[in-house]
Structure 1
Amino acid sequence: MRHTLMRMTLRQLQVFNAVCDCLSYSRAAEEMALTQPAVSLQIRQIEELIGQPLFEYVGKKLYLTEAAEALKRASTDIFQRLESLDMQLSDLQGKLQGQLNLTIESSAKYFVPHLFAAFRRTHPEVSLHLVVVNHAQAVKRLTASRDDLFIMSMVPPNLALDFLPFLNNPIVAVAAPDHPLCEKQALNLQELTAFPLLVREVGSGTRKACEEYCHQKRAHFSQWVEISSTEAQCEGVIAGLGLALLPRHAVRLELAAGLLHELPVQELPLYRSWCVVHAQGKRLSPVAQAFLEFIRQQHAQINDLAEQFLHRDALKPLPTGL
């Protein structure tokens, strides 16, 4: 190994990572509470140590060189190992401590905070870094192994993954309370196709699941309205723009308040399982391993928690402890 690499400091790597993430010296300086000349100096010092440039400008945009890409991968591994070491040292002291880096699909964002809160009651010194993305973005982050664990439905079959299904994600049809379909006691999916359907953006797991299911059932909607967030979909349905197929977890408060009506469609709910996922062979941190074991061992209690979550009043807290 080059002796010059041994002179590189963790602080220099932190500054380097900030520039990689921000793709801007000035924004990295703000993030690190440094001056821009100080950031530039740290980058020049690293370049001298490795003997290659790290960044280049094309027009006004900053790009990583191949050397920078290699250094980014190495620095990510270094900081992950240091974080894992910190957790292991805490474990030796008889306590679990550290941060869980969790990426979830947006349909899971309503329930997962309550799931983590139940886990944290057992491990109060664990913190959470939560990233909410759509299905396509989750798959991209998964292939880059950027996080400890992922929670998603429709696990990609073409990737080498370990996954644990742990909770049903029921998708239901909803309408505004004054919609003409609300007067019917029973419906089939085909009857919904006469009305506009509000859908998420391409890349959404819920949209993909609904498209595949409707195609399977030969229910073809002629009018689609694309809306890029579940909250905006709810508002669109309330406003009378059309119908929507949404996770019941996502609309529980609107249903309870009478702002939305769940249509009695014979072919629904459409059930998809939420799964906790990680790459095969990935070395999990003690915190990630503990969270995975919590989900594995508390399966029945998690289902009970989900039922309480679905039927609770908006102002009532969830019960303490699983």
Structure 2
Amino acid sequence: MRKSLMRMTLRQLQVFNAVCDTRSYSRAAEEMSLSQPAVSLQIRQLEELIGQPLFDYVSKKLYLTDAAEALKRASLDIFGRLESLDMQLSDLQGSLQGQLKLAVESSAKYFVPHLFAAFRESHPEVSLQLVVINHAQAVRRLSANRDDLLIMSQVPQDGSLEFLPFLDNPIVAVAPAGHPLCAETSLTLQDLTPWPLLIRETGSGTRQACEDYFHQKRAHFAQTLELSSTEAQREAVIAGLGLALLPRHAVRRELEGGLLRELPVRELPLMHSWCLVHPRGKYLSPVAQTFFAFVRGERARISALAARFGGRPANR
């Protein structure tokens, strides 16, 4: 190892990460409560230790060099290890402490807070950093190793991931109360195709799963409206703009309250499993290890917890 690298300080790495995140010396200085010359000095010293420039300026914009990208990955690992050490020391004192960095696909965001609340009953000093993303973003975050764990429904089959299926994610067809199809007792996907279909944006796992299923069943919707969130889909259905295929968990309250009706489509629900995922070989912090073990060991409890979200509500 280069001896110069041993002279890097944690403070320098903190300043460097702030510049990477803000793409600005002045904003990094404000975030770190430092002067801008102090930030410039810390970066200049880092560049001398590494022997390469860390940032390029192009058209008044700051870009990371290849050396900065490598240093960024190493610094995240270093701070992750220190955070893990803090957790282990807390564990030795008899309590699990720290933060769980969890990214979830949007279809799971309605259930995950309840899952974490159940986990916190045994580990009250663990905090949560929750990021809600779509499927395409989840794949990118896995590649970048940005989170402790991810919850997603369609795990890429590339062999580089460890995953634990733990709960069904039923996707159902919904219509506004009073829609003509609500009077039917049995439908097929083909029966839905004359009506406008509200779909998620490109990159959504639910959209991809539904499109694959439509292709398999030869169901073609001539008119579609694209919306960027499950909430927008749900409200658009209530407003009468069309039908939608949505996770039952996401519309539980609207089904129970009578604003929406679940259509009796014979080919539905479309079943996928939510999976807890991390890169194979990734070092998991004590908090992440404990949460993973909780999900693996409490299947019955999790299923009971999800019953009020995933059960088929009575149509009103």
**TM-score computed with the length of structure 1 as normaliser:** 0.93
User: Residue 204 of structure 2 aligns with which residue?
Assistant: 204
- Listed one character per residue, the Cα deviations across residues 68-120 of structure 1 (whole Å, up to 9, x for unaligned) are 11111111111011111111111222221111111110110010011001001
User: Residue 109 of structure 2 aligns with which residue?
Assistant: 109
User: Residue 190 of structure 1 aligns with which residue?
Assistant: 190
- Give the letter aligned to residue 125 of structure 1: E
Task: Give secondary structure in 1 for the equivalent of 2:101.
Answer: strand
User: Residue 69 of structure 1 aligns with which residue?
Assistant: 69
| Aligned positions of 1:98-247 closer than 5 A | 98-247=98-247
Equivalent-residue separation in structure 1 for 2:47 and 2:261 (angstroms): 61
User: Residue 28 of structure 2 aligns with which residue?
Assistant: 28
Equivalent-residue separation in structure 1 for 2:113 and 2:42 (angstroms): 38
Equivalent-residue separation in structure 1 for 2:298 and 2:229 (angstroms): 31
Equivalent-residue separation in structure 2 for 1:100 and 1:87 (angstroms): 11
Equivalent-residue separation in structure 2 for 1:249 and 1:30 (angstroms): 42
- Listed one character per residue, the Cα deviations across residues 7-51 of structure 1 (whole Å, up to 9, x for unaligned) are 221111111111112222233233323333332222122122222
Count, aligned residues = 312
What are structure 1's unaligned runs of at least 5 residues?
314-322
User: Structure 1 residue 260 and structure 2 residue 240: aligned?
Assistant: no
User: Residue 293 of structure 1 aligns with which residue?
Assistant: 293
User: Residue 317 of structure 1 aligns with which residue?
Assistant: none
Equivalent-residue separation in structure 1 for 2:58 and 2:67 (angstroms): 17
Task: Give secondary structure in 2 for the equivalent of 1:74.
Answer: helix
Equivalent-residue separation in structure 2 for 1:183 and 1:26 (angstroms): 62
Q: CA deviation at 1:278?
A: 0.9
User: Residue 88 of structure 1 aligns with which residue?
Assistant: 88
> RMSD value over aligned CA atoms?
1.5
Equivalent-residue separation in structure 1 for 2:190 and 2:18 (angstroms): 52
Equivalent-residue separation in structure 2 for 1:27 and 1:219 (angstroms): 52
**TM-score computed with the length of structure 2 as normaliser:** 0.95
User: Residue 269 of structure 1 aligns with which residue?
Assistant: 269
Q: CA deviation at 1:310?
A: 4.8
Equivalent-residue separation in structure 1 for 2:141 and 2:24 (angstroms): 22
- Give the letter aligned to residue 171 of structure 1: I
Equivalent-residue separation in structure 1 for 2:94 and 2:166 (angstroms): 28
Identity percentage of aligned residues = 75
Equivalent-residue separation in structure 2 for 1:267 and 1:42 (angstroms): 61
- Listed one character per residue, the Cα deviations across residues 174-206 of structure 1 (whole Å, up to 9, x for unaligned) are 111121111112111110000111010111000
